[in-house]
Amino acid sequence: MALLEVNTIHTYYGAIHALKGISIQVEQGEIVTLIGANGAGKSTTLNTICGILHPHQGSILLDGEPIHGLRPHEIVARGVAQAPEGRRVFGRLNVIENLEMGAFARKDKAGIRRDMERVFTLFPRLKERAKQVAGTLSGGEQQMLAIGRALMASPRLLLLDEPSMGLAPILVEAIFDTIREINAQGTTILLVEQNALMALSVANRGYVLETGNIVLHDSASALQKNEMVRKAYLGEE
């Protein structure tokens, strides 16, 4: 049984039909990427999984149990956490307070402390800036914090929405290295990216999303070779 199973979901913003029957499967231990142009519906997909948006049709199963009717905090409690697009750290809180906020749903103090250490090991930069107010961190540090904050929920499934957005290439490399490491430590990842090249290089499998439809899905290596993907997303003629 797949860890996450998204079955033909339709999501609307008022009259706007943003997701037109999307199906995605994520197996335990995988990195799966969802690539697509701006406005394709990638963030909408993640927010629907998280329960911030609700699908009008279709179902979302976590470990075979439906979660599409649940509220966001209930879904977090079941082990799904998101690092949202644009980072959105709590600008007035310092690094530690942001991380604590990520563990809001948990009550196991020892586990929280262990996970905080884990985040600091993954991102030593955050440890150096533990008391700094998040609003004054650099873009790359904020992205690390956003990922760290999501990890603090101790998720089984981590949803990352465009972690490379607006970062210098060298930072993008570093972030993707860490994503690989987080996955190696046992967290399943659904990675949303416009940067298809990077995303496919870390992922096991990928889905290509266009205006609310999945137009292609395959193993990452196959997608990297795919003619259409190369033209549309890897910038080749």
Kindly state the tokens that stand for 146. Answer: 């956003």
Helix boundaries (H) for the chain: 42-50, 72-77, 95-102, 109-122, 124-128, 139-151, 169-184, 196-202, 220-225, 227-232
Binding partner of residue 40 among ligand ADP, Mg ion, another protein, none, CB cut-off 5 to 8 Å per kind: ligand ADP
Site string for ligand ADP, 43-82 (x = CB under 6 A): xx--------------------------------------
- Min. distance of Cβ 196 from ligand ADP in angstroms? 12
Task: Specify whether the CB–CB gap between 178 and 123 falls below 8 A.
Answer: yes
- Min. distance of Cβ 81 from another protein in angstroms? 7
Is residue 216 a contact residue for ligand ADP (CB under 6 A)?
A: no
- Min. distance of Cβ 197 from ligand ADP in angstroms? 17
Is residue 39 a contact residue for ligand ADP (CB under 6 A)?
A: yes
* Contacts with another protein, residue ranges (CB under 8 A): 50-52, 71-73, 76-77, 81-82, 84, 88, 90-93, 100-102, 104-105, 133, 135-139, 149, 153
- Min. distance of Cβ 32 from another protein in angstroms? 19
Binding partner of residue 29 among ligand ADP, another protein, Mg ion, none, CB cut-off 5 to 8 Å per kind: none
Nearest CA to 211 out of 52, 86, 54, 38 is that of 38
**Binding residues for ligand ADP, total number by CB under 6 A:** 11
Handedness of CA 21, 160, 150, 53 (dihedral sign): negative
Question: CB-hemisphere CA count at 13 Å for 73?
Answer: 5
Helix (H, G, I), strand (E, B) or coil at 237: coil
Q: What is the DSSP letter of 31?
A: E
* Contacts with Mg ion, residue ranges (CB under 5 A): 42-43, 85
Residue with tokens 């990297």: 224
Write out the residues near ligand ADP by the rule CB under 6 A: 13, 16, 18, 36, 38-44
